[in-house]
Amino acid sequence: MRWNKPNVCTPIDDPLGRDKPASTAWVRHQGLERIRQAMLTSLAGDTGCEVARMNIRLRYAADIEALWYLRNDLFSMLSVLRGEATAHSALEQVTALFQGQLPTSLRPPLARTLHAAP
């Protein structure tokens, strides 16, 4: 017989917050799907087995970090298909969507602006 039933909540579980989704989970999920859609849209109109493979990898990426690392592969593919300038432009648009979504260790470096010395 099983003593610990996972679907039974006791009054002590409620104050501890067990079995409740994180309050930011929905927001993070929306950001993930927005980034995923932008990456898939950048491949729209292209065909081939490599494009199909990239579509699958993007669709089944489990989290924001997986999409972050797929940017490099997306850039390589778009460079071959459409040219480096177009790929760079598409990557800049996708990278902007990651702002505020990544852990500190994965955040892109801030753009350094050159200011003229007085």
Q: How confident is the model at residue 37 (pLDDT cuts 50, 70, 90)?
A: very high
pTM (two decimals): 0.65
Decide if 61 is inside a domain.
yes
Cα distance between residue 75 and residue 78, in whole Å: 5
Mean pLDDT confidence for 28-54: 88
Task: Tally the domains of the chain.
Answer: 1
Range of the domain at 68: 28-98
Decide if 54 is inside a domain.
yes
Percent of the chain at pLDDT exceeding 70: 64
Decide if 90 is inside a domain.
yes
With a cut of 60, say whether residue 23 has pLDDT above it.
no
CB burial readout 27-44, b (16+ within 10 A) else e = eeeebbeebbebbeebbe
Decide if 62 is inside a domain.
yes
Decide if 69 is inside a domain.
yes
